[in-house]
Amino acid sequence: MSVDIVVPTLGESVTEATVARWLKQAGDTVAADEPLVELETDKVTVEIPAPQAGVLSSILVETDDTVEVGSVLGRIGDGDGADAGDAKPAEKTKEKAKAEKPAKETAAPAKAEPEPAAKQETKSSSADDPLASAGPAARKAAAESGVSGSQVQPTGRDGRATKADVQAAAAKPAPAEAKAPAAPREDKPGEERVRMSRLRRRIAERLKEAQNTAAMLTTFNEVDMTEVMAIRNEFRDSFEKRHGVKLGFMSFFVKAAIAGLREVPAVNAEIDGDDIVYKNHYDIGVAVGTAQGLVVPVVRNAETMTFAEVEKTIGDFGVRARDGKLKLDELTGGTFTISNGGVYGSLMSTPILNPPQSRILGMHKIQQRPMVMPDGSIEARPMMYLAMSYDHRIIDGSEAVTCLVRIKEGIEDPRRLLFDM
């Protein structure tokens, strides 16, 4: 007996996916729960497992096809040869015959009565032209102004167009002609055209949506990384030995961001219609670059986590993001996002909001720069530029700057993070 391979529920607001690739071929023997096919949604790549052990008897969709939740991707049989794979051509032939039969029956009456159809068309076109029954004055005005019947809104008796109707139509600006979509340009030698993935298309849509919707503004500051780097170097080995994970900079920035958000609640809010929703929890999204594009898994309730728990969670997200193993519910619901372009060498940038969030923090490359110290001396210090983009519709400039300064203070003096200062 064959069993259908069905597209499962893919997560909130996700209704369709693209077939990325089949991991098995028709006729292959598969074990229960063995991955069969990869589906790419606009958030993550999902592997669909075999519902039972058997033989992959038929594949009903091809790579790059779009499928909806509940669609049948293929079938698994018990391997006795009497499965859907052999019946598939016969089923297609029957379906084709059924489809062709009504088409032929529908076409027959059209040949039998061509004359009434022509008469009906003439009658319809006459009724659709209000100038056909208009008076001489209206027709003369239309001829002089170049107005056609389709442009006139008749207001006279029995739907007749008057001279005033023609003059009103002539006064209106001509509607702009709809431009036909431009055909793809011809590829030049040395160029390669690759279809944009669903994830990449979704990233493009969301980034453009953020720019079109939010009143986006970016404020900058710079932070001295000396103290954080000293603590990290001092406790690096003992921290890893005790917790099994390396002590990085991200846990410090997550904790510093929470301190800033607590002091300025408006920065942890978002717009929902005509309302402002203030978040009293801190789910921090951490942007991770993958071969397929940028994804933002969320560290839930980061305010309750230790430094080690934050580092473990972010490290696990990074590994699974690159392997395409993230779950859909791990990519939604963040209240604040941190993006670290410094790992790629970026010195400064203006990060784009991650809708529906109303703020995002951008970290950058650490670089030695000459700084004037309080005593007037000049020292080379490890400095990092910070950038916070925010939605000016709900966050005032003073609030955004205050939040960013608190983040800066927490990094420059990590003791503040211990005493919630």
**100-109, 342-351, 374-383: segment of lowest average pLDDT:** 100-109
Query: What's the whole-number average pLDDT of the chain?
Result: 81
Residue 386: exposed, middle, or buried by beta-carbon count in 10 A (0-12, 13-18, 19+)?
buried
Given 69, 86, 103, the domain boundary residue is 86
Residue 91 belongs to a domain: no
Per-range mean pLDDT, top range of 44-48, 54-58, 78-82, 142-146: 54-58
pLDDT confidence tier of residue 174, bands split at 50, 70 and 90: low
What is the rounded average pLDDT of the residues 392-402? 94
342: in domain: yes
Q: Is 109 within a domain?
A: no
Higher pLDDT, 154 or 24: 24
d(CA 297, CA 327): 9
**pLDDT at 421 (0 to 100):** 63
pTM above 0.85? no
Q: Do residues 82 and 219 both lie within one domain?
A: no
Rounded distance, CA 31 to CA 53, Å? 4
Residue 299 sits in a domain whose CATH number is 3.30.559.10
Is residue 98 in a domain? no
- Identify the pLDDT of residue 182: 64
Residue 343, pLDDT above cutoff 80: yes
331-338 mean pLDDT = 89
Residue 200 vs residue 13, higher pLDDT: 200
Is the pLDDT at 102 greater than 70, yes or no?
Answer: no
Q: Which of 65, 72, 81 is nearest to 27 (CA)?
A: 81
Question: Which of 38-52, 90-104, 163-177 comes out lowest in average pLDDT?
Answer: 90-104
Instruction: Kindly report the three-state secondary structure assignment for every residue of the chain.
Output: CCEEEECCCCCCCCCEEEEEEECCCCCCEECCCCEEEEEECCCCEEEEECCCCEEEEEECCCCCCEEECCCEEEEEECCCCCCHHHHHHHHHHHHHHHHHHHHHHHHHHHHHCHHHHHHHHHHHHHHHCCCCCCCHHHHHHHHHHCCCHHHCCCCCHHHCCCHHHHHHHHHCCCCCCCCCCCCCCCCCCCCCCCCCCHHHHHHHHHHHHHHHHCCEEEEEEEEECHHHHHHHHHHHHHHHHHHCCCCCCHHHHHHHHHHHHHHCHHHHEEEECCEEEECCCCCEEECEECCCCEECCEECCHHHCCHHHHHHHHHHHHHHHHHCCCCHHHCCCCCEEEEEHHHHCCCCCCCCCCCCCCEEEEECCCEEEEEECCCCCEEEEEEEEEEEEEECCCCCHHHHHHHHHHHHHHHHCCHHHHCCC
Is residue 325 situated within a structural domain? Answer: yes
Q: What pLDDT is stored for residue 255 in this prediction?
A: 95
Q: What is the pLDDT of residue 109?
A: 46
- Cα–Cα distance, 352 to 387 (Å, whole number): 10
Residue 58 neighbours by CB distance under 10 Å: 23
The bridge status of strand 336-340 relative to strand 359-363 is parallel
Is 353 found in the same domain as 217? yes
For the stretch 283-322, pLDDT in tens is: 999 988 877 777 889 999 999 999 999 999 999 998 888 8
Q: Is residue 341 part of a domain?
A: yes
Of the candidates 38, 59, 86, which is a domain's last residue? 86
Reply yes or no on whether the pLDDT at 118 is more than 50: no
Domain span at residue 79 reads 3-86
The pLDDT confidence band at residue 235, using thresholds 50, 70 and 90, is: very high
The reply to whether 125 falls in a domain is: no
- pLDDT reading at 206 higher than 60: yes
Same domain, 76 and 216: no
What is the end-to-end Cα distance of the chain in Å, rounded? 66
- pLDDT band per the 50, 70, 90 thresholds, residue 152: confident
| pLDDT at position 241 over 80 | yes
Q: Would the CA dihedral through 80, 85, 90, 95 be positive or negative? A: positive
pLDDT of residue 396: 94
Distances 290 to 70, 285, 310 between C-alpha atoms, Å: 28, 15, 20
pLDDT band at 260 (very low <50, low <70, confident <90, very high): very high
Would you place residue 79 in the very low, low, confident or very high pLDDT band (cuts 50, 70, 90)?
Answer: low
Task: Tell me which of 29, 62, 86 is where a domain ends.
Answer: 86
Q: Give dist(CA 84, CA 81) in Å, integer.
A: 9
Is residue 124 over pLDDT 50? no
Distance CA 240, CA 317 (A): 18
Kindly list the catalytic residues. 392, 396
Q: How confident is the model at residue 51 (pLDDT cuts 50, 70, 90)?
A: confident
Instruction: Report pLDDT digits (tens) over 359-388.
Output: 999 999 999 999 999 999 999 999 999 999
187 inside domain: no
Between CA 397 and CA 160 the distance in angstroms is 61
Q: Per the structure, how many domains does the chain have?
A: 2
CATH of the domain at 62: 2.40.50.100
Is residue 121 very low, low, confident or very high in pLDDT (cuts 50, 70, 90)?
A: very low
